[in-house]
Chain A
C-alpha cells in the first residue's frame, strides 16, 4: 500500500469532520472462485444468488491476503478506504489522526496477526484472551476449514466427498451438537 497517500487521505477525512467508525479486516483465502448455482441449499440452481462474481471474489483466487477497510462517518455520510495487504505486510497506525483507532489496531494485531506500526496505546497482546493464539490468521482459518471438511467427509462416508465445491461448502454441513 502507498502509506503516505493513505495517511494523507485519513488526515483529510479527519480535517473534514469525519469520525472513525470501524477498522475491519477480512481473511482472504486463495479458494477457488465460488461456483454460483451449485447450491446445496435445497433451492434449484436458478434461485441461487444472481449477478456476476464481484471483483473482490475474483481477486481472492490469488495468494493469502488480508482485506482491510477503514470506515469513517459524518452524520449520514459514510466513507471507506479499502486496502489489500499480504501476510506479514506492515500497515501504519492512524492513531495519529484518530486517537480512538488504537482499540481497532490492537485488535487487528491480536486477532489477525497484522503488524500495525506506531499505535499510540500499545496493549501488547493483552486485549483479548483467545484459545488460538491468532484466531483469524490464514493458518488458523485453514486448519479449521480442513478439520471441518474432514469431519463432514467422515460423517457422510466416502461417496459424498467428491466434488470441487467440497472445500468451501463443507463447513456448513458439519453436524452441530
Chain B
C-alpha cells in the first residue's frame, strides 16, 4: 500500500511544547514514527562551566516549570551527598511535603491538558482551577508559584509554621473532595471511555522492554517507584505505589488520579511525623568545595529522574547530567504510536505526560 508521511509538530494543538514526529502512514494506520527533538534545547548542562555550584541549583530548577521543585531538590540532595552534609530533619520533611504538593500540581496540570486533548474543555477548566489552589499554596509558602528557589545545598530557605501546615492540610483535603467530582467524570464518562479505553495499550512485557518509568510503567502493571527505596524520608511513609494493569490511555489517567489522593495522604503523614515547633534549624551550611561524584534518583510526577553530578574540587562542577522521566519514556511513546490510528496519536503522546523542556534541558 502507498505510504504517506504526515509531520506532526512542532506546533500542534495538543502539544504544550515542541516535538516533531514524522508519522509514516498506510491508509490511516501509523506504521512508523521518527522523533525529532531539539526545538527547546537550552544547553543548561553546559552552564556548569560558568555557574558556581552554589548557584547551579537555581539554574537546575529552570529545566522545567512543572517539576521545578524536584529538580532543585535533586540537585541539592546530590551535592549534600558529595559533601557529606547532614540536612536538619525539619528541612527534609519540608522538602518531602513540597515534593508531594508539586506532584499534585503536576498531575492536575496534566489531567487538564489531557481533558483538553480529548475535547472536554469544561473538565480542563475544573482541573486547572484546582491546580490554581496548589499554586497559591506554593506562593504562600515559598514565595514563587512556578519557580520556588526554596532549596539550597544543606537545607531549605523557608520554614512553614505548624499552624500553616495544618491549614495547608485542610485545604488539600478540601481539594481532594472537590477532585472526587472530576475523578468521577474521568472514570465514568462514556465519551472519555470511548476515546481512551483500549487505546495505546502498552503491555507489561513491552513496558519492561522499552524501560518505561513512572505512571507509564505503573499503568502497565509494573510495581515500580523510586520512593520505595526509602531515600529522603520516604522510608517513614506508609504508601503503596498505584498500579493499574490495563496499560491503555485510560489506565494512565487513572494512575495519575489515584496518585493525587495518595500524595494528599503522604502530606498528611509527613505533617504528623515531622518534628514540631518554631525556630528549628533549617540548614547546615556547606563547607569547602565538593569533590566526588554521585548518582541521585528521585520519583518525579512523570517517573524516575536521575541526576549525575561530578565535582572536582573547584567552584564549578565537572559534569551535571539530568536524565528526566520523559527522556526515558520517549521509546515507549514511539512504540505505542506504531500501529495505532492517526486520530489516536495526540492522545497517546499526551498520556506519556511529555515534558520536552526536561528532555532537552
Contact = CB atoms under 8 A, between A and B. Distances in A.
B287 A43 contact: yes
A171 B291 contact: no
Nearest to B223: A75
Given A48-B289, A126-B38, A103 B330 contact: yes
B118 interface: no
Interface string B203-227: 0000011110000000000001000
B36 interface: yes
Contacts of B360: 128
Interface in B276-302: 287-293, 295, 297
Interface string A4-48: 000000000000000111101011000000101001110100011
A157 interface: no
Contacts, number: 126
A98 B308 CA distance: 20
A57 interface: yes
B52 A172 contact: yes
B319 interface: yes
B314 A129 contact: no
Contacts of A20: 211
Nearest to B222: A19
B24 to A, nearest CB: 14
Contact of B211 (A19, A123, A127, A141): A19
A26 B297 CA distance: 19
A69 interface: yes
A176 B39 CA distance: 26
Contact of B210 (A21, A69, A76, A99): A99
B199 interface: no
B315 A22 contact: no
Given A19-B211, A41-B315, A49 B288 contact: yes
A54 to B, nearest CB: 7
A169 interface: yes
Interface in A48-63: 48-51, 53-54, 56-57
A144 interface: yes
Interface in B117-139: none
A73 interface: yes
Given A20-B211, A39-B289, A148 B312 contact: no
B38 A50 contact: no
Nearest to B209: A99
A48 B275 CA distance: 33
Contacts of A40: 315
Contacts of B313: 34, 36, 48-49, 53, 57
Interface string B172-214: 0000000000000000000000000000000000001111000
Contacts of B17: none
Most B-side CB within 10 Å, residue of A34, A98, A135, A169: A34
Interface in B13-64: 34-39, 41, 43, 46, 49-50, 52
Given A50-B288, A129-B38, A135 B49 contact: no
4 smallest CB-CB distances across A and B, nearest first, come from: A76-B229, A100-B331, A49-B291, A129-B38
Interface of A: 19-22, 24, 26-27, 34, 36, 39-41, 43, 47-51, 53-54, 56-57, 69, 71, 73, 75-76, 78, 80, 98-100, 102-103, 123, 126-131, 135-136, 141, 144-145, 148, 168-169, 171-172, 174, 176
19 contacts: A19-B211, A21-B297, A21-B328, A24-B308, A24-B323, A26-B319, A36-B291, A48-B313, A56-B293, A57-B291, A71-B295, A99-B211, A100-B210, A100-B211, A103-B327, A127-B37, A128-B37, A130-B41, A169-B315
